[in-house]
Amino acid sequence: MADPRNKKLQVQATKSTTFYDTIATGSVGSPIASELAQTKSARQRLMEAEFPKPAHTRIMAVTNQKGGVGKTTTAVNIAAALAKHGLNVMVIDSDPQGNASTALGIEHHSEIASVYDVLLGDMSIREVVQQSAEGPMLSVVPATIELSGAEIELVGVENRESKLEAPLDEYLRTATEHDEPRLDYVLIDCPPSLGLLTINAMVAANEVLIPIQSEYYALEGLSQLLNNVQLVKNSYNNILEISTILLTMFDRRTNLANEVAQDVREHFPETTLNTKIPRSVRISEAPSFEQTVITYDPSSPGAIAYEQAALEIAKQGGK
C-alpha cells in the first residue's frame, strides 16, 4: 500500500515546479518575470526592425561638459548599434582620455597616429582611421594622450575652430574616389569640457547629441552648454542643431529618476528620446573587455536599450 505521505510530497513538488516554471515564463506578475518578458519582446522587435539610411551623412557631436553622464558610453554603443544594423559608422575620439578608442578595441598609445595629427594638419583622416573589432561597418579615429596639449598648441593658429571640419569634409567628399562606401553616421566623442576640442567637434558636426544622467544635478550646467551650441551656430556653423537628448543611468525604481526624466522631457519635448538607458553592470563591465555592451552582452537590458535608442535616432532622419 502506498504511503500517503509520499503522495503528499509528490503533490507539493509538482506545485512547486509549476510555480517556478510559471515565474520563468513570465506568467506571474513578478517584477523580474515582467522585465525578462519585456526584454525578450524588445529584442525580438529589434531583430525585425529596419534601420533606415539617412539621406546624407549625419555628423553628431556627443557632448556634455558634466563628467560621468555616460557620454563616451553613449557614443560607442549608439555607434555599435547602428553598425550592427547595417549602417556605415565612424567614431572620432576627440577626448584625450581615449576611452572611446578603448571600448572599440583600438590601440591608442603615443606612437599611434590619431586625431591629434589630424587637428595639427600633419595627417589626413584616411591616414589615421582604423577598423574596429566591433564589426566591418564601424571605423574609429583614435585619440592619444598627446591630444591633451592640442588646445594649447592651437591657441595661436588661424581658423583654430575648424581644424576638424576641413579634414572630415575632405574625407567624406573623396570617399567615392577611394572606392569607399558613404558614411551614414559620424559620431564625435567630446571631452567633458567646453574647450577648443569640443568647439571643433561642434563646428564639424551638423547635430548635437546630449546624454543627461538621471540624477539630481542632471540639468546643472546645461544652460551653459546650450549657450555654447548657440554661439557656435551663430559664429561658425549655422546648420548646427541639438537633435537628440538621451537619459542615461536611469533607475525606474526611484522617484527622483522619474522626476528628472519628466523635467527633461518638459524642457525638451521634441528632442528627448523615449528610450532611457538603465543603470547596468554589463554596460560598465564591457569597456574592460575592450567591447561595447552591444557585443559584450547583446541580450542584456542595457544593450537592448542602446539599440532602441539607435533605432529612434535612425528614424529621426537627420538635419
pLDDT score for 40: 73
Is pLDDT at 267 greater than 70 in this prediction?
Answer: yes
The three state secondary structure string of the chain is CCCHHHHHHHHHHHHHHHHHHHHHCCCCCCHHHHHHHHHHHHHHHHHHCCCCCCCCCEEEEECCCCCCCCHHHHHHHHHHHHHHCCCCEEEEECCCCCHHHHHCCCCCCCCCCCHHHHHCCCCCHHHHCEECCCCCCEEEECCCHHHHHHHHHCCCCCCHHHCCHHHHHHHHHCCHHHCCCCCCEEEEECCCCCCHHHHHHHHHCCEEEEEEECCCCCCCCHHHHHHHHHHHHHHCCCCCEEEEEEEEEECCCCHHHHHHHHHHHHHCCCCEEEEEEECCHHHHHHHHHCCCHHHHCCCCHHHHHHHHHHHHHHHHCCC
Mean pLDDT value across residues 219-246: 92
- Residue type at 118? V
pLDDT score for 138: 98
The set of cell numbers assigned to 109 is 598609445
The set of cell numbers assigned to 168 is 572630415
Mean pLDDT, the chain, whole residue set = 87
pLDDT in tens, 304-316: 999 999 999 999 8
pLDDT in tens, 175-197: 989 999 999 999 999 999 889 99
**Contact at 8 Å (CB) between 241 and 208?**
yes
pLDDT score for 111: 87
pLDDT in tens, 40-92: 777 788 888 889 999 999 999 999 988 889 999 999 999 999 999 999 999 99
Prediction pTM value: 0.87
pLDDT score for 3: 53
Question: What does residue 87 show for φ and ψ, rounded to 5 degrees?
Answer: -100, 145
Domains in the chain and their CATH numbers?
A: 53-316 (3.40.50.300)
pLDDT score for 11: 40
Q: Return the percentage of the chain with pLDDT > 90, whole number.
A: 66
**pLDDT-based confidence at residue 8 (cuts at 50, 70, 90):** very low
Least Cα distance to 294 among 163, 179, 137, 156 occurs for 137
